[in-house]
Structure 1
Amino acid sequence: MTTTENPTPRKARSMQVRSAAARASIKLREYDNKPVPQWLRDVAAGKDSAPPTPSR
Protein backbone atom coordinates (compact mmCIF):
# COMPACT_ATOMS: atom_id res chain seq x y z
CA MET A 1 0.00 0.00 0.00
CA THR A 2 1.30 3.44 -0.81
CA THR A 3 0.77 6.58 1.21
CA THR A 4 -1.84 7.84 -1.27
CA GLU A 5 -4.12 4.81 -0.79
CA ASN A 6 -6.75 4.93 1.91
CA PRO A 7 -6.62 1.98 4.28
CA THR A 8 -9.80 -0.04 4.78
CA PRO A 9 -11.61 1.12 7.92
CA ARG A 10 -11.40 -1.39 10.75
CA LYS A 11 -15.14 -1.81 11.12
CA ALA A 12 -15.60 -2.59 7.42
CA ARG A 13 -12.74 -5.09 7.50
CA SER A 14 -14.12 -6.66 10.65
CA MET A 15 -17.52 -7.12 8.98
CA GLN A 16 -15.85 -8.76 5.98
CA VAL A 17 -14.09 -11.22 8.24
CA ARG A 18 -17.29 -12.00 10.17
CA SER A 19 -19.23 -12.50 6.94
CA ALA A 20 -16.61 -14.87 5.55
CA ALA A 21 -16.55 -16.89 8.77
CA ALA A 22 -20.35 -17.07 8.81
CA ARG A 23 -20.45 -18.26 5.17
CA ALA A 24 -17.95 -21.01 6.01
CA SER A 25 -19.96 -22.03 9.05
CA ILE A 26 -23.16 -22.18 6.98
CA LYS A 27 -21.49 -24.40 4.38
CA LEU A 28 -20.28 -26.78 7.07
CA ARG A 29 -23.71 -26.96 8.71
CA GLU A 30 -25.43 -27.56 5.38
CA TYR A 31 -22.90 -30.27 4.52
CA ASP A 32 -23.64 -32.00 7.84
CA ASN A 33 -27.41 -31.54 7.30
CA LYS A 34 -27.70 -29.45 10.46
CA PRO A 35 -30.07 -26.48 10.81
CA VAL A 36 -28.65 -23.01 10.14
CA PRO A 37 -29.92 -20.25 12.44
CA GLN A 38 -31.27 -17.09 10.84
CA TRP A 39 -28.87 -14.84 12.75
CA LEU A 40 -25.96 -16.69 11.12
CA ARG A 41 -27.45 -16.14 7.67
CA ASP A 42 -27.88 -12.44 8.55
CA VAL A 43 -24.22 -12.12 9.48
CA ALA A 44 -23.19 -13.85 6.24
CA ALA A 45 -25.33 -11.37 4.31
CA GLY A 46 -23.46 -8.47 5.91
CA LYS A 47 -26.15 -7.38 8.32
CA ASP A 48 -24.86 -6.29 11.70
CA SER A 49 -26.35 -9.02 13.84
CA ALA A 50 -25.27 -10.76 17.01
CA PRO A 51 -26.01 -14.29 18.13
CA PRO A 52 -28.74 -14.66 20.74
CA THR A 53 -27.58 -14.52 24.33
CA PRO A 54 -27.64 -17.88 26.08
CA SER A 55 -30.30 -18.28 28.74
CA ARG A 56 -29.53 -19.99 32.01
Structure 2
Amino acid sequence: MILKDRIAVVTGAGSGIGRAGAMIMAREGAVVVIADRDPAAGEATAAAIRAAG
Protein backbone atom coordinates (compact mmCIF):
# COMPACT_ATOMS: atom_id res chain seq x y z
CA MET A 1 0.00 0.00 0.00
CA ILE A 2 2.13 2.81 -1.29
CA LEU A 3 -0.47 5.53 -0.63
CA LYS A 4 -1.44 4.57 2.92
CA ASP A 5 -2.39 7.62 5.01
CA ARG A 6 -2.45 9.90 1.93
CA ILE A 7 -5.38 11.91 0.61
CA ALA A 8 -6.12 11.99 -3.12
CA VAL A 9 -8.52 14.50 -4.67
CA VAL A 10 -9.65 13.18 -8.05
CA THR A 11 -11.58 15.43 -10.42
CA GLY A 12 -13.58 13.76 -13.15
CA ALA A 13 -13.75 10.59 -11.06
CA GLY A 14 -17.18 9.63 -12.40
CA SER A 15 -15.82 7.98 -15.53
CA GLY A 16 -12.83 7.14 -17.68
CA ILE A 17 -9.30 7.89 -16.54
CA GLY A 18 -10.51 9.73 -13.42
CA ARG A 19 -12.53 6.73 -12.28
CA ALA A 20 -9.68 4.33 -12.97
CA GLY A 21 -7.23 6.56 -11.11
CA ALA A 22 -9.55 6.88 -8.12
CA MET A 23 -10.00 3.11 -7.97
CA ILE A 24 -6.25 2.47 -8.14
CA MET A 25 -5.41 5.09 -5.52
CA ALA A 26 -8.06 3.69 -3.17
CA ARG A 27 -6.72 0.17 -3.72
CA GLU A 28 -3.26 1.46 -2.78
CA GLY A 29 -4.56 2.81 0.54
CA ALA A 30 -5.37 6.47 -0.15
CA VAL A 31 -8.42 8.24 1.17
CA VAL A 32 -10.07 9.38 -2.07
CA VAL A 33 -12.12 12.55 -2.48
CA ILE A 34 -14.26 12.21 -5.60
CA ALA A 35 -15.34 15.21 -7.66
CA ASP A 36 -17.41 15.07 -10.82
CA ARG A 37 -19.95 17.26 -12.62
CA ASP A 38 -22.37 14.32 -12.64
CA PRO A 39 -23.27 13.49 -9.01
CA ALA A 40 -24.68 10.07 -9.93
CA ALA A 41 -21.47 9.06 -11.71
CA GLY A 42 -19.36 10.26 -8.78
CA GLU A 43 -21.52 8.31 -6.36
CA ALA A 44 -21.24 5.20 -8.56
CA THR A 45 -17.44 5.45 -8.35
CA ALA A 46 -17.62 5.91 -4.60
CA ALA A 47 -19.90 2.87 -4.31
CA ALA A 48 -17.50 0.79 -6.41
CA ILE A 49 -14.60 1.80 -4.16
CA ARG A 50 -16.58 0.94 -1.03
CA ALA A 51 -17.62 -2.42 -2.51
CA ALA A 52 -13.99 -3.28 -3.30
CA GLY A 53 -13.09 -2.61 0.32
Higher strand share: 2
Q: What TM-score do the two structures reach when normalised by structure 1? A: 0.34
Q: What TM-score do the two structures reach when normalised by structure 2? A: 0.36
